[in-house]
Amino acid sequence: MRRAIFPGSFDPLTLGHYDIIQRGITLFDELIIAIGINAQKKYMFSLEERQQFILEAFKDEPRIKVLTYQGLTVDFCKEIDASFILRGLRNPADFEFEKAIAHTNRKLSEIETVFLLTSSGKSYISSSIVRDVIRNGGDYSGLVPDTVKYTGNL
């Protein structure tokens, strides 16, 4: 079975993530959306909200699962028997950053990283931009799937 993980914080899930997930599932038998937990990071959305956004967005795709993890991504891959890490690339800076991580992961394990370019109309979207739009009271609906709803206080 070709099992891959798509790791990230997904704070929140964006249309860029959604694009990579939809296209990535065509390459693998199972795609695990792996929400990384970093105690040092302050999230806008709770872990439960982030999980729910993803579960709802892909409720009709049984080959997509949502799990959480802490620590090294390659260790999590070994734990769940995933042979691939799926990553999205928006721009050359993403490539340089992700290339270094992929080389390190390959040095640490036998995990292969698969890169997909984000579709052209979504390459400008990032979770940090979405959070900034939300913090400033902007309309974020064109940047995220319909399942993402901000219910906190601004």
pLDDT by residue, tens only, the chain of 154 residues: 999 999 999 999 999 999 999 999 999 999 999 999 988 889 999 999 999 999 999 999 999 999 999 999 999 999 999 999 999 999 888 899 999 999 999 999 989 999 999 998 999 999 999 999 999 999 999 999 999 999 876 5
Residue 124, annotated as binding a ligand = yes
Residue 98 labelled as part of a binding site: yes
Tokens coding 83:
């042979």
Domain 3-136 sits in which CATH superfamily? HUPs (3.40.50.620)
How many other β-carbons are positioned within 10 Å of the β-carbon of residue 114? 14
Which residues are part of the catalytic machinery?
17, 41, 90, 127
The pTM for the full model equals 0.93
